[in-house]
Structure 1
């Protein structure tokens, strides 16, 4: 988000965090309510423009939201929606995006409160990797002639019983509300939301063999010192790297694999 949308987003996120800290709220139910509003607003262009129009005062947009959603939403959900529509959004789709992101953040908040946020991240990462490395899954999710409900059922068949209900719920979000995004990009953004909640950076370690917990912790500690922020590392096993490790942190790549060294030797030999 850029321009005025950034300020509107932070105001809505602050309200969501305020309600979260207040307790006595079912965070998962609240997330579901925001997901539903996001889908409804995203599907109705006229409504989306009316609720996000930066030229309108906040109160008529809040009034419209009340008339539409008051009977459908809990009090906390309506408060967050009121804060969101009161903002000045640079693009109407930014409002839809914000409501969904708030819902995703609340699912992570519920997992964090129960002490298993890291595990939820690991589960989502496993979904991301399964889709990236299996052409059949990618093709099924990318087909325009397959209805969203069928794609959701497909994801459930693949992962139900293997990951938590929260991870499965989040894994279906990019299907139910795609908005032209690639599936893996949407899941990776969910992981980024979780990382921001913990004020950490997410790294991907690719290794030819399974690393021990101690080895993984040492790498995370070294990266934390390097970046000045906490780093949570996800591990990918890929025999093709031959040995050593390959680390990706955002756009940064730290490649200590044997394969990379062999490539360097080949390039040096070919340049002579």
Structure 2
């Protein structure tokens, strides 16, 4: 035992360890451990080594990439430094060039400004001279206008003072008549008459011809009728016109069926024979067989014919001149009172009420024939203004007498001799008898204003003064 202890002591720790191992060595265990170690080595080699190697390679590649990028960045920094130095150099050169260009531009701009300033000075000077000339011309024109207006006003004042005398008024009228007389003697042809067309001017040719045919038929059919029979016929025709106005289908049947004249004629006789005067039946039958431009023209022509029937009655009773004068007076009343004319023309009101208003106005102041004309006209206005319709009645009355009406407006009442002379002179101008209807308007100052149909002769002093003022420069 002592010997063994000595031996172990002589071998040292390693020897002791080896001795222990040898004492404990088991070959089977050793082989198993060796196999396990080999398996572990295999597994490490097979499954651990490749990822580790790949990781190492990736890491190396990353390092190499970073080194390359660092080198590239270093190169870029160097290149950037060179580019900056180059840019600074170029900027300095460009700044120097800009400085030179700016100096040149400043010189050019200064030169242009001087030239523009010189041009503007000249332009302003020229404009100033033109403005001065324009102001001067305007002042001269205004002065002329003011002086002209003052002269016209003064002349007007002198004329008014002069015409305040009745003899001067009469002299101004005589001068106008003298001028018209010279016109009459110097004219080789008379103004054509349109008396037959009174009340028909707004119609087309077909309707005018139809209306004239109706008038001709009446003249032939009523040649032997007296005033009373004609007055009764007027009442019948008024009733027939009312019937046609209230029955658009019947009116359309009588107007539009141009190819069936015989049928329309038969229809008229069926409706009206024995109910109205024969002359009225003839008028309606003739009207129904004519060609009309519109049904409105048909009614208008019948209204006109109704007025002609009454005027014929007045003519045969010997009072047509009185009727004409009364119609003219009523037309002047309506013209001077637009509100009254509007009330009589108001188709929204019942016809009887409008006739009642007319009765209160003129019923007891006019003859029976005139009242018949006025009442039937107001009742059958058919859209026409009352004042226009009454004015046409006066013209129709004059035309029935073979005359044309001259509406003469003067500043004061005309003497009978002046009216007669004026009628004679106008008759020479128009080639037919002229019926003069007078009206007084003091604002005309003097002279005359004459209307014959659509023609107006402004020979009054007020109009001439106004025209003189209008011709002044403005």
Q: TM-score, with normalisation over the residues of structure 1?
A: 0.92
Matching of residue 51 in structure 1 with residue 254 in structure 2: yes
Give the secondary structure class of the aligned counterpart of 1:26.
helix
**CA offset digits 1:69-114 (Å, max 9, x no partner):** 1231122221222222122222122221222111100111111112
SS in 1 for 2:314: helix
- Deviation string 1:101-143 (CA, Å, 9 cap, x unpaired) is 1110011111111222121111011111111112441342244
Match of 1:101 among 301, 304, 308: 304
Q: Indicate which of 226, 240, 252 corresponds to 2:443.
A: 240
Q: Is the 8 A contact 2:230 2:309 kept in 1?
A: yes
For the residues of structure 2 that align with 1:68 and 1:232, how far apart are their CA atoms? 41
What's the CA shift string for 1:170-211, capped at 9, x where partnerless?
A: 222332112111111111222232232223211100012111
1:5–1:89 contact (8 Å) kept in structure 2:
yes
The separation in 2 between residues aligned to 1:167 and 1:15, in whole angstroms, is 24
- Listed as ranges, the matches of 1:46-195 within 5 Å are 46-143=249-346, 145-195=348-398
- Picking from 211, 220, 233, the partner of 1:9 is 211
Q: CA deviation at 1:159?
A: 0.6
Instruction: Report deviation, 1:236.
Output: 0.8
Deviation of 1:54 (Å): 4.2
Contact 2:310 2:372 in 1 (8 A): no
Structure 2 residue runs of 5 or longer lacking an equivalent are 1-202
> Quick one: distance in 2 between partners of 1:90 and 1:146?
29
1:26 and 1:64 map into 2 onto residues whose CA distance is: 24
1:266 matched residue in structure 2: 469
Which is richer in helix? Answer: 2
Say how many residue pairs are matched.
271
Aligned with 1:19 (options 206, 216, 221): 221
SS at match of 2:409: strand
Change over 3 Å in CA distance of 1:146–1:38 after alignment to 2: closer
1:195-235, Cα deviation, whole Å (9 max, x unpaired) = 32223211100012111222111101100101111111111
Q: Which structure 1 segments of 5+ residues have no match?
A: none
Aligned: 1:197 with 2:400: yes
* Separation (CA, whole Å) in 1 of partners of 2:460 and 2:204: 38
> Aligned in 2, Cα 1:252/1:11: closer, same or farther, shift over 3 Å?
closer
Match of 2:457 among 250, 254, 257: 254
Q: Distance in 1 between matches of 2:445 and 2:206?
A: 48
Say which one has the larger Rg: 2
Q: Is the 8 A contact 1:124 1:187 kept in 2?
A: yes
**Residues 202 and 233, structure 1, Cα contact 8 Å, conserved in 2:** yes
Change (3 A) 1:143 1:31: closer
SS in 1 for 2:451: strand
- Asked if structure 2 preserves the Cα contact closer than 8 Å seen for 1:38 and 1:97, the reply is no
